[in-house]
Structure 1
Amino acid sequence: MSRLKITAKELRAIGFPESPVIPVAMSVVDKFYRFSKKDEVIELLKKVLTQPADYKNDPMLESIALKLLPKEVANATGIALKESGAAVSIFGPKHIEAGALHQIHMAAKLPISVKAALMPDAHHGYGLPIGGVLATKNAVIPYGVGVDIGCRMCLSVFDMDPDLLKSKTSFFAREIHEATLFGSGAQFKTAEEHEVMDRNEFHSTPLLRSLHGKAWKQLGSSGSGNHFVEFGVVEIQEKDEILGIETGKYIGLLSHSGSRGLGANIANYYTKLAIEKRKLPNDAKNLAWLDLQEAEGQEYWMAMNLAGDYASACHHIIHRKIARQLGRTPMKMVENHHNFAWKEILDGEEVIVHRKGATPAGKNVLGIIPGSMSANGFIVKGRGMADAIHSAAHGAGRKMSRSAAISAITHKAMRDALDKAGVTLLGGGLDEAPFAYKDIHTVMSAQTELVDIVGSFTPKIVKMCGDGPKQLRKRNPSDGE
């Protein structure tokens, strides 16, 4: 039998942190498991990673567990994680990578943590995993909110025949092109007018004052990555009294983006402050928090809410421009955000609920959960499940990293998938190809306790930033190019 070897790359892929634990794990495998089956050893290591306390007295795995367990910080100002954390509820665990599971369990061990949950679209992130929900006591974690503060979905439903998306593709494509800009540094030459830019908060701190000018030039832009603006078909099979749309098919305009450079700068500035104030173990340093009774915590809370309102304004400007060109007023607009923190009541006490890539799903709260550029999204209504901290998934969730997707997916395969789905792609990279995402139906089936589906959205004309839009575009003369 050949001798088993586990590489550092394989350990990092399942979520092992960049720390001395990797060589220790490699040594343990070589010493005790060299003739075992690789998949069995990988599964065992995932268990140790997720629950190291269960293995701290194991004769073979003890050395790995002890490296993973939080250590007391020698510095007098250091803070140790609790050995036994707050309750964690996980939805769809068999579809979630070990790294995300490890991160949510680590977050639950913070001294400030009250309750945690992980959504079925979850994957590894910085601080909290994407799809992570954490309730804390009187404290906010900047990286628990995320870099793209207030990132959100916004859907306008128009009482128009969806067949127009086929017969007038070039018209609808042009309207998306003219309504917004894509790209991480994209700025308009002429700034849009919106009351959010007149907010006093922009003049309350040196940081916000320094960001005001660029934020104004980026108002109404859409950024890069997985952000998009798209037209599609909204289908309502049965009227819901909360949604209030009659049974039928309509044209929908769906956008996904956040607070642009404003949110990113706020997140990075206050994360650095939090890390300086709260000396956590190195593996947990991105979970550093600010107390809401201290000046820095109050400043961040103010800036976070400003960035959230700014993100909403960006969507409203895009939708307003396009509605004007369509000559229609939306019959309904549904909007929800993630990458944010809210003050909510949970189990009878006020807590701070962080939703990093998770959709608010309180009782009868409407939201949108998108699929991919070729897969259906869903209009949902929350069921208010306490174990999920009144939350749900925010999308299909990645199953491939961006670099892995670019390496593994061909342009032809992507074009074929889009042709099959009848989607016109105006711009989008291989990193956002449909194959890079989990199956949205699998994700939705894992959260039937969390939301009810009240409508669907099928993408038809999709605009993203992408790494090579000219090569990836569906070849269609009606693209308007």
Structure 2
Amino acid sequence: MNTNITGANLLTIGYSEGKIVGLALNIIAEHFIETNEAELLALLKKVKNYPESFLDDEALGALATAIIEEATIKPDDTIALLDDRKTYTIFGENYIEDGAKDQMNIAMKLPVTAAGALMPDAHQGYGLPIGGVLATRNAIIPYGVGVDIGCRMALSIFDIPEKYYFGKDAMYKRELIAHTKFGAGQNYKGDERADHEVLENEDFNATPFLKHLHGKAWAQLGTSGGGNHFVEWGIIDFAERDEVLNINKGRYVALLTHSGSRGLGATIAGHYTKLAKEICKLPKEAANLAYLDLNTPEGQEYWIAMNLAGDYASACHEVIHKRLTKAIGAKVLAKVENHHNFAWKETLNGEEVIVHRKGATPAGKGVMGIIPGSMTAPGFLVRGKGETDSINSASHGAGRLMSRSKAIQSITKSDMKTILKDHGVTLIGAGLDEAPMAYKDIHQVMAAQTELVDVIAKFEPKMVRMADDGSRED
């Protein structure tokens, strides 16, 4: 009797781990329980090596068919990477870890890749590195966009001179706490909930999947995420008058926010990444770069969902800024907003491409953006130069110098309190993983991209609120 034949026996005669072994064991139990073990193993080896000879076999036909399908479909089903990667430009290469470059090297081997670039704040991420810019032909990569779809910076510059900020710390702190919520699962209830036209967007009805997310989106409207998301008061310094913004030389009170599409974006990212991986089977090292063809229903669904999440992220910032502007009774002189973790249809070298900016700021000619430093380092209001080598992009911040775990292990609360005090910054929330020392030197990062952007003004953080529960995304 052959009750002793196991999967291990099958592996020794050439079978591979997986569903084929399970199918073979089931067939043995059903049809060959009385067959001599040695003879049966010899027979199964023949089926493995010459499956076409057993296709019409009553007992072994299903096994032979499965072996042929696995052998013929699997190579064709896996999309091969290019033998040689396409070249790309790295800005600030000396400050970028090898892990980020390795990830970008793989992305440049995708058959849909048209061009790429790596920004000076780049560090290793998931799929495409953070700080990676990738242009593709008619394909969208969910993890090339990222989990926090449409994450953005928003800056409001008020008609309040710098001198009127100091001495009113208690008021600014009170209003900051009263009108912001941070972290995973945070939402507003009942009358607290904000109203915004984004909730009437017809794209919520585009698919049952999006329709189901409408309630979560409404509840979280106007909240901020965990991790490096923040709302902060600060002073913005214009060294000279800016004609485009119509702001005179001077130092003004400003509000700067950084957050994204909350649970809506995270759920969309998870759903469509799973779908992309099922449809687009790439080699293991590139699996997280699975893409969707924009000519397919799945690709179009993701495009709609991504843009909806981007609009929603913008609405969250608008709610926060309106509430705090009203709370302090100020007039907005100018507002600037830009986003990353997104994909755009753009023309590059005369060709329409899909530009993924995973933690990278759009920097087309004349395009305004905000590049933050850390909770103590300055941020910069910039205007793009439209550099083709960077695919019209710049960094989205200073970029991490330490991983979160390394920061927690190597930075003390005393270290953090000292640097906050030295810079005159009041901190509400945040953990050691967001300590200023965990980030690269923003001045080095900016020096590495002078050909990408012009600096218009400098923002100095004064009061920063972040999530204090250790959450990142929900």
Taking structure 2 as the reference length, the TM-score comes to 0.82
Shift of 1:73: 9.7
Q: Which residue of 1 aligns with 2:243?
A: 241
1:223 counterpart letter in structure 2: G
Deviations 1:327-372 (A, max 9, x none): 2221000000000000000000100000000000000100000000
Give the counterpart of 2:232 among 222, 230, 242: 230
* In structure 1, C-alpha distance between the alignment counterparts of 2:427 and 2:109, rounded to whole Å: 44
Q: Which residue of 1 aligns with 2:377?
A: 375
- 1:466 paired to 2:468: yes
Shift of 1:241: 2.6
2:424 counterpart letter in structure 1: G
Q: Which residue of 2 aligns with 1:5?
A: none
* In structure 1, C-alpha distance between the alignment counterparts of 2:390 and 2:145, rounded to whole Å: 17
- Partner SS, residue 252 of structure 2: strand
* In structure 2, C-alpha distance between the alignment counterparts of 1:75 and 1:172, rounded to whole Å: 61
- Partner SS, residue 125 of structure 1: strand
Q: Say whether the 8 Å CA contact 2:226–2:470 is kept in structure 1.
A: no
Q: Which residue of 2 aligns with 1:187?
A: 187
Aligned-pair Cα RMSD in Å: 1.4
Q: Say whether the 8 Å CA contact 2:344–2:355 is kept in structure 1.
A: yes
Give the counterpart of 2:453 among 440, 451, 454: 451
Q: Which residue of 1 aligns with 2:79?
A: 79
- Taking a change above 3 Å as real, the CA distance of residues 468 and 215 of structure 1, as seen in their structure-2 partners, is closer
- 1:133 paired to 2:129: no
Shift of 1:468: 7.5
2:243 counterpart letter in structure 1: E
- Partner SS, residue 443 of structure 1: helix
Comparing 76-85 with 260-269, greater Cα deviation is found at 76-85
- Taking a change above 3 Å as real, the CA distance of residues 346 and 468 of structure 1, as seen in their structure-2 partners, is closer
Q: Which residue of 1 aligns with 2:108?
A: 108
* In structure 1, C-alpha distance between the alignment counterparts of 2:401 and 2:324, rounded to whole Å: 33
Q: Which residue of 1 aligns with 2:304?
A: 302
Shift of 1:243: 3.2
Q: Which residue of 2 aligns with 1:328?
A: 330
Shift of 1:427: 1.2
Q: Say whether the 8 Å CA contact 1:165–1:460 is kept in structure 2.
A: no
* In structure 1, C-alpha distance between the alignment counterparts of 2:178 and 2:469, rounded to whole Å: 20
* In structure 1, C-alpha distance between the alignment counterparts of 2:203 and 2:310, rounded to whole Å: 13
* In structure 1, C-alpha distance between the alignment counterparts of 2:238 and 2:468, rounded to whole Å: 31
Q: Say whether the 8 Å CA contact 1:99–1:123 is kept in structure 2.
A: yes
2:453 counterpart letter in structure 1: V
Q: Which residue of 2 aligns with 1:276?
A: 278
* In structure 2, C-alpha distance between the alignment counterparts of 1:240 and 1:193, rounded to whole Å: 34
Return 5+ residue gaps in structure 2 as ranges. Answer: 1-71
Deviations 1:285-335 (A, max 9, x none): 010000110000000000000000000000000000011112222100000
* In structure 1, C-alpha distance between the alignment counterparts of 2:378 and 2:101, rounded to whole Å: 27
* In structure 1, C-alpha distance between the alignment counterparts of 2:401 and 2:280, rounded to whole Å: 33
- 1:97 paired to 2:97: yes
* In structure 1, C-alpha distance between the alignment counterparts of 2:343 and 2:444, rounded to whole Å: 27
- 1:197 paired to 2:199: yes
Q: Say whether the 8 Å CA contact 1:243–1:366 is kept in structure 2.
A: no
Comparing 77-86 with 395-404, greater Cα deviation is found at 77-86
- 1:341 paired to 2:355: no
1:110 counterpart letter in structure 2: L
Shift of 1:202: 0.8
Give the counterpart of 2:435 among 433, 436, 451: 433
- Partner SS, residue 342 of structure 1: strand
Give the counterpart of 2:211 among 209, 212, 224: 209
Question: Aligned residues, how many?
Answer: 398
- 1:266 paired to 2:276: no
Identity rate, percent: 60
* In structure 2, C-alpha distance between the alignment counterparts of 1:262 and 1:116, rounded to whole Å: 28
Runs of 4 or more, structure 1, over 6 Å off, are none
Deviations 1:388-445 (A, max 9, x none): 0000000000010111101110000000000000000011110000000000000000
Shift of 1:86: 2.3
- Partner SS, residue 156 of structure 2: strand
Comparing 75-84 with 349-358, greater Cα deviation is found at 75-84
* In structure 2, C-alpha distance between the alignment counterparts of 1:234 and 1:352, rounded to whole Å: 34
Q: Say whether the 8 Å CA contact 1:237–1:248 is kept in structure 2.
A: yes
Comparing 202-211 with 298-307, greater Cα deviation is found at 202-211
* In structure 2, C-alpha distance between the alignment counterparts of 1:239 and 1:89, rounded to whole Å: 34
Shift of 1:76: 2.3
* In structure 2, C-alpha distance between the alignment counterparts of 1:242 and 1:187, rounded to whole Å: 37
- Taking a change above 3 Å as real, the CA distance of residues 86 and 468 of structure 1, as seen in their structure-2 partners, is closer
2:381 counterpart letter in structure 1: I
1:157 counterpart letter in structure 2: I
Shift of 1:242: 2.7
Return 5+ residue gaps in structure 1 as ranges. Answer: 1-71, 470-481
- 1:159 paired to 2:149: no
Q: Say whether the 8 Å CA contact 2:227–2:470 is kept in structure 1.
A: no
Deviations 1:162-183 (A, max 9, x none): 2333201011111111112001
* In structure 1, C-alpha distance between the alignment counterparts of 2:213 and 2:231, rounded to whole Å: 25
Q: Give the number of the structure whose alpha-carbon radius of gyration is greater.
A: 2
- Partner SS, residue 167 of structure 1: coil
Q: Which residue of 1 aligns with 2:173?
A: 173
Give the counterpart of 1:358 among 353, 357, 360: 360
Q: Which residue of 1 aligns with 2:404?
A: 402
Q: Say whether the 8 Å CA contact 1:430–1:467 is kept in structure 2.
A: no
Q: Which residue of 2 aligns with 1:145?
A: 145
* In structure 2, C-alpha distance between the alignment counterparts of 1:220 and 1:334, rounded to whole Å: 18
Deviations 1:247-276 (A, max 9, x none): 000001000000000000001100111111
- Taking a change above 3 Å as real, the CA distance of residues 468 and 357 of structure 1, as seen in their structure-2 partners, is closer
Deviations 1:127-174 (A, max 9, x none): 100000000000100000000000000000001022333201011111
